[in-house]
Amino acid sequence: MTPALPGAAAGAGVAAMTVPPAAFLLVGTLLFFIGVAGALLKRNALSMFLSIELMMNAVNLLFLTYARMRGDAAGQMVVFFVIAVAAAEAAVGLAIFVALFRARMTIDVDKANLLKW
């Protein structure tokens, strides 16, 4: 197991968490939900991509909440890696959109249907 966060061992004198963790989990889930809806309902590739970013951040919030609940730094490390991978993904994804736009003059995903039958 990864080492505990400094706060886990801290005793008196530090403020207790007054917001119940379930509230954070609820917000994270709702955000993920909104992200899923956006990714499925939108047809503009860029907006779909934005929704996916939102989903990733909703999951990040869940990871941070669990890290806090367990006093375990592993959750924060995962978020760190998610953020870095998201940066790589955004670079490649946007490059694909630019290439798609050059080929089709649109980034509507319904119009990119060459492999579809």
Partner 1 sequence: MSAQMIVFALASALALVFALLMVVVKTPVKSVLSLVVTFFGLAVLSILLAAPFIAALQVIVYAGAILVLFLFVIMLLNLQKEATEKDARPIHRVLSLVAVLASGGLLAGVTLRAGAPPVPLTAPAAAYAIPAADEIPLLGRLLFSDYLLAFEALSVLLLLAAVGALILSKRRFE
Residues in 39-98 that interact with partner 1 by CB under 8 A = 40-44, 46-47, 49-51, 53-54, 57, 60-62, 64-73, 76-77, 79-81, 83-92, 94-98
- By CB under 8 A, tell whether 112 contacts partner 1: no
CB 86 within 8 A of CB 22: no
Interaction residues for partner 1, span 14-33 (CB under 8 A) = 14-33
Q: Are 39 and 48 in contact (CB under 8 A)?
A: yes
Question: CB of 114: closest distance to partner 1 in angstroms?
Answer: 16
Which stretches of 42-73 are DSSP H helices? 45-70
